[in-house]
Amino acid sequence: MRIELYGVLSEAAGSTHLDLPAPAEGTVAAALEVAAHASPGLAPHLPRAAVAIGDQLVPRQAPVDDSSEIVLLPPVSGG
């Protein structure tokens, strides 16, 4: 699976994407655990990141597999 990273997430990982094997559990939540293990700098940001697959925001229990392209969006602030 590929995880695309933007903003502070790409800075924390030192890359704009991660290519990782899909987790056996097959959920976004498990994929985020794999990403945090592969790039520990991401871990503190992941609880607040929005997750998309394709053009749709998805919940953490959404299914993923090796062909998934996940997009992580950093939290937005401002006023």
Instruction: Give the tens place of pLDDT for each residue, 11-67.
Output: 999 999 999 999 999 999 999 999 999 999 999 999 999 999 989 999 999 999 999
pLDDT of 79 > 70? The answer is no
Nearest Cα residue to 2 out of 24, 31, 41: 31
Report the candidate in 65, 6, 56 with the shortest Cα–Cα distance to residue 30: 65
> DSSP string spanning 11-30?
HHHTSSEEE-PPPTT-BHHH
45 vs 67: CA distance, rounded Å: 24
The residue ranges of every structural domain in the chain are: 2-73
Q: The domain 2-73: what is its CATH number?
A: 3.10.20.30
Confidence of residue 75 (pLDDT cuts 50, 70, 90): confident
